[in-house]
Amino acid sequence: MNKLDALKVFTAAVGKSDLVVCCNGVIGRELYTTQDRPSNFYMIGSMGLGLSIGLGVALAQPRKRVFVLDGDGNVLVGMNALASVGSERPVNLVHVVLDDRSHASTGGQRTISGDVKLESVASAVGYRATHRADAVDAFDASLRAALVQPGPVMVLALVDGGAVKGVGRVAETPPELAARFAAEARR
């Protein structure tokens, strides 16, 4: 599945009051370029920590749905966060993983996600549900199912490698991103 198509499906599933925590790297810049909004938080510079931040947000804001948009490389670097999510089991957390089987942000090195089924790991550590999709329609159906299931839920989408064309850097500084996200989280 084309990554831009996957991002369009993802952004269509996110509601106005939902919060999104996005991993660092290419995926964050792609989301920023395709649909920036104040309730999106972009992790800048720290690989593998998006899910840890999203878990904290989900626990602090139990009345809001929290999406974590991750890449396979970030999940593999921050595997400990999967266990923490499985232990805490926040019902409002939807973990979306765009798996291109590479570390796109650091030169496209192959990851081991083709050998290690991340959704199986999520299930083993306590996620209530997992979905895997390799086509746009299946990804859309998986996200719709995740919206009505208690979390934590992982939706893994197999996407083509490479970056979306015309993607720039996040313009706001980390403190600016944090301030605008915190204001949205309090609404």
| Strands 93-99, 153-158: pairing kind | parallel
What is the rounded distance in angstroms from the CA atom of residue 98 to the CA atom of residue 169?
A: 19
Residue 163: which pLDDT band, with cuts at 50, 70 and 90? low
- Looking at every residue in the chain, the average pLDDT score rounds to 91
pLDDT exceeds 90 at position 80: yes
Percent of residues, the chain, with pLDDT higher than 70: 93
Q: Where are the domains of the chain?
A: 3-186
Q: Which residue has the higher pLDDT, 162 or 67?
A: 67
pLDDT, tens digit (0-9, with 9 covering 90-100), for 96-143: 999 987 666 665 667 667 788 999 999 999 999 999 999 999 999 999
Facing residues of 67 across strands? 20, 94
Tokens at residue 39, please? Answer: 């309730």
pLDDT above 90 for 154? yes
- Mean pLDDT is highest, among 3-12, 52-61, 156-165, 171-180, for 52-61
The class level of CATH for 3-186 reads alpha beta
- Of 18-27, 95-104, 160-169, give the lowest mean pLDDT range: 160-169
pLDDT > 90 in the chain, percent: 67
Question: What does the block give as tokens for 10?
Answer: 């993802």
Cα Rg, the chain, nearest whole Å:
15
CA dihedral sign of residues 119, 154, 40, 173? negative
pLDDT for 35-57, tens place per residue?
999 999 999 888 889 999 999 99
Reported confidence tier of residue 74, pLDDT bands at 50, 70, 90 = confident
Element (H, E) at 50: helix 50-60
